[in-house]
Amino acid sequence: MPIAERMIRRVADFAVIKNMFEEGRRLKERFGAENVYDFSLGNPDVPPPEEFRAALRELVRSDTLSFGYAPVAGHLPLRQALARRLSTEHGTPVPPEMVVVTVGAAGALNDILRALVNPGEEILTPAPYFLGYDNYAFLTDAVLKTAPTDARFHLDLAAIERAITPQTRVVLINSPNNPSGAVYAAAEINGLGRLLAAASDRLGGRIYLVCDEPYRRIVFDAEVAPVMAAYPHTVVVNSFSKELSLAGERIGYFAVHPQAEDAETIRDAAAAVNSMLVVNAPGLLQQAVARVLGAAVDVSAYRRRRDLMGAILNEAGYEFTLPEGAFYLFPKSPVPDDARFADMLKEERILVSPGRAFGVPGYFRISFAVPDVVIRGAREGLIRAMRRAAGA
Ligand code: PLP
């Protein structure tokens, strides 16, 4: 075998997702893209805000634009602006030195998990969870463990407590959540903070909280809780992939709570990983986003699509919780085998992701980061598939 043994299974798992994308492509070739309803990707389609385009144009015209290596932790003006923003969002003063600019939230998570977790130790995350976490745990040589959530996909603190072991180094949460759309309330986050403080004392080792929040600004009547205020041993991860629709431009960051145990050592180690892997985050983008930190995409477009898709799912008789944030719906599969139901939808030229990809079989994920016309076009197929499932 030409590739490392540890990669063999991982590459095979990857192939399942790759095949799903390829199959979507084949369907589009066969039936025409307008006759295929693709809800399988989390790729934002709402355009970036006009301020961002203007900032980029202005930068490109300027003579002072720098194309050299950037400082490993990022350009200082961006770190300063992010520190101000984080201090407001998290109810805790965050100095610029504790903020590191990264290649997306994915880069930030890889940096911080490698800095914190020894090979064989555990990362605990509530399920359903973003499927990238499996890969990041794999690259860290860590074990990804899961704890179930409640019926609305909110935190089940008792389940988290039961799942913590002496090997748990990190509890990794994601709010607003991909794929469930849950936004954890302040009371849940405060409860989690108390639980982690007590578990760390009981087990005699610090459990860190890593909070992944790239959908923070995509919320519908919900507020994302200030996680740093709830537990000092917290690292916040965020990016501009979703809030500015810049997913392909790969720009994100992490911030270590200044009062976290060994905060500076953790920041230095994670920044070192960043440097070892990629040297620095894209420089032009760092300079551009620093100018538009208050901006966000038009969330009303996502709200409209959520409501449109929600109304269709209701009409068809699917069971689901309306998402409080992000741009995914996570309905119950009307047949127990979610992969089979994804195939039934494929026969209707509707592409979704089975819940098992997110650690929760029996559900499926719909990404509503698609034009309204795609949602409307899928209505009849969703109704027909539900009828067929009821007869199955
Ligand atoms: N975390 C979650 C929950 C995500 O949904 C994604 C991307 O979809 C990421 C992290 C990675 O984001 P980025 O594009 O910023 O690397």
Query: How does residue 14 score in pLDDT terms, banded at 50, 70 and 90?
Result: confident
Cα separations (Å) of 388 from 68, 316, 341, 344? 59, 11, 10, 8
Atom of ligand 1 nearest to the CA of 42: 8
In this structure, the strands spanning 350-351 and 37-38 are parallel
Domains in the chain: ranges and CATH:
5-48+298-391 (3.90.1150.10), 50-292 (3.40.640.10)
Mutate which of 178, 183, 210, 211 for ligand 1? The one with the most ligand atoms within 8 Å of its CB, which is 178
Nearest CA to ligand 1 atom 7: 42
178-226 per-position pLDDT tens digit: 999 999 999 999 999 999 999 999 999 999 999 999 999 999 989 999 9
pLDDT for the residue numbered 63: 84
Ligand 1 pocket (Cβ < 6 Å) reads 42, 104-106, 130, 132, 174, 178, 212, 214, 239, 241, 247, 252
| Whether the predicted pLDDT of 136 surpasses 90 | yes
**CB within 8 Å of 97: residues ≥ 6 apart:** 79, 267
299-354 per-position pLDDT tens digit: 999 999 999 999 999 999 999 999 999 999 999 999 999 999 999 999 999 999 99
Nearest to 73 by CA among 309, 285, 275, 321: 275
Atom of ligand 1 nearest to the CA of 107: 16
Average pLDDT over residues 58-70: 88
pLDDT for the residue numbered 25: 87
Helix, strand, coil percent values for the chain (each to nearest 5): 50, 15, 35
Higher pLDDT, 295 or 66: 295
The residue whose two tokens read 């991860």 is 237
Find the 103 Cα to ligand 1 centroid distance in Å.
Answer: 11
Find the 214 Cα to ligand 1 centroid distance in Å.
Answer: 6
| Whether the predicted pLDDT of 390 surpasses 90 | no
Determine contact, residues 354/39, Cβ cutoff 8 Å: no
Strand extents, DSSP E, 80-155:
99-102, 122-127, 143-148
Find the 106 Cα to ligand 1 centroid distance in Å.
Answer: 6
| Whether the predicted pLDDT of 392 surpasses 70 | no
pTM strictly above 0.85 = yes
Determine contact, residues 89/216, Cβ cutoff 8 Å: yes
| Whether the predicted pLDDT of 117 surpasses 80 | yes
Find the 384 Cα to ligand 1 centroid distance in Å.
Answer: 33
258-310 per-position pLDDT tens digit: 999 999 999 999 999 999 999 999 999 999 999 998 888 999 999 999 999 99
| Whether the predicted pLDDT of 132 surpasses 80 | yes
| Whether the predicted pLDDT of 31 surpasses 90 | yes
Cα separations (Å) of 189 from 116, 192, 306? 21, 5, 25
Mutate which of 136, 175, 183, 239 for ligand 1? The one with the most ligand atoms within 8 Å of its CB, which is 239
Find the 105 Cα to ligand 1 centroid distance in Å.
Answer: 6
Average pLDDT, the chain: 95
Atom of ligand 1 nearest to the CA of 103: 16
pLDDT for the residue numbered 77: 94
| Whether the predicted pLDDT of 254 surpasses 70 | yes
Atom of ligand 1 nearest to the CA of 251: 15
In this structure, the strands spanning 328-329 and 252-256 are unpaired
Q: Report percent pLDDT > 90 for the chain.
A: 89
Higher pLDDT, 65 or 110: 110
Query: How does residue 64 score in pLDDT terms, banded at 50, 70 and 90?
Result: confident
Find the 248 Cα to ligand 1 centroid distance in Å.
Answer: 11
